[in-house]
Amino acid sequence: MAAEFTMISTTAEVYMAVLREHASELVPFGTISQCDGNPHGDPEMGRMYTEWGFKTADYPTLVHDETWRIDRDRPGVRLDDKRAYFICVARRRD
């Protein structure tokens, strides 16, 4: 059974430092790739989401979440690009 975790907001610098330092030890735990919009929600909102964790861990260590509005007239142009970075911390079950 996977451990429960909480996502703590961090900076791009902290996220990139951990990713660089431990790149060979981390694997994707989960991804969402909706570059052409969300087929089950807002078709005008693109999203790339990745959870990274150590190979032997039960939960992710880092999360990157990027969203943007899709410009249908200019493919590849991202409007209102927003990026969020998180460190994942285990939570005790009570």
DSSP-derived letter for residue 40 is T
Q: How many CB atoms lie within 10 A of CB 53?
A: 20
Q: Are 36 and 10 in contact (CB under 8 A)?
A: no
pLDDT digits (tens), the chain, 94 positions: 445 889 999 999 999 999 999 999 999 999 999 988 888 888 889 999 999 999 999 899 999 999 999 988 887 788 999 999 999 998 877 6
Q: Cα–Cα distance between 33 and 27 in angstroms, integer?
A: 16
Q: Cα–Cα distance between 16 and 42 in angstroms, integer?
A: 29
